[in-house]
A = this chain, B = another copy of it.
Amino acid sequence: MSNVKGLIAAAVATLVVSAGVAHADAAAAVKARQAHMDLYAFNLGILGSMAKGETDYDADAASAAASNIEALAKMKTGAFWPQGSAAGEIENSRALPEIWTTYPAVAEKAQDLVAASEAMSVAAGTGLEPLQAAMGPLGGACVACHKAFRQPE
C-alpha cells in the first residue's frame, strides 16, 4: 500500500488525459471497460467455484486466476473511463456520474481492489482455506465499487 499516492496520481493524470476523447471513442471505452469486467468475472468465477466446493481445489488454476485478477486490478484504466461515458450519456453504460464528480473516491476503491487482489495472489495457491478467506475481501472490494458507482439494473 506504499504506492497508493503514486497510483492515484497516475490515475488522475490518465483521466485528465482521456477527458478530451470524442463520443465515438467513448463507445470504444465502454466496450473496453466491459471487457475488463468480463475478465474479472471469469477469473473470479474460477476462484468462487473452488471456494464453494463446486469444483475441486487446484493450486495452479487458482494461482493463475488470482494472478490474472491482480493484473487486471493493476491495469491503467484511465482511458477506459472518459468524460461523457456515464449512464445516460452513452448506450450500455451503468456508470454513475459520481465516478467523475467525486474523483478520487473511485481511485481509492480501485486501490482497495488492488490490495485485496494482492492478498488473493498470495493465498490462492497455498490451499483451499486461505483461498476461501481471501474471497471475502476480494468480493467485497468489487461490491463496494459497484454499490457506490454503478446504476442498479
Residues in chain A within 8 A of chain B (CB atoms): 10, 13-14, 17-18, 28-29, 31-32, 34-36, 38-39, 42-43, 45-46, 58, 60-61, 63-65, 67-68, 71-72, 74-80
Residue in contact with A35 in the complex, picked from B42, B58, B61, CB distance below 8 Å: B42
For residue A61, which residues in chain B have a CB less than 8 angstroms away from its CB? 14, 17-18, 79
CB contact under 8 A between A31 and B42, given known A14-B60, A17-B60, A75-B71: yes
Query: Which residues of chain B have C-beta atoms less than 8 A from A60's C-beta?
Result: 10, 13-14, 17
Copies in the complex: 2
The 6 A-B residue pairs with the shortest CB-CB distance in the complex, in nearest-first order: A64-B76, A32-B42, A35-B38, A35-B35, A71-B71, A17-B61
- Please, which residues of chain B bring their CB within 8 A of the CB of A67? 75-76
Q: Which residue of B lies closest to A11 (CB)?
A: B64
Enumerate chain B residues within 8 angstroms of A13, measured Cβ to Cβ: 60
A10 to B68 alpha-carbon distance, docked (Å)? 14
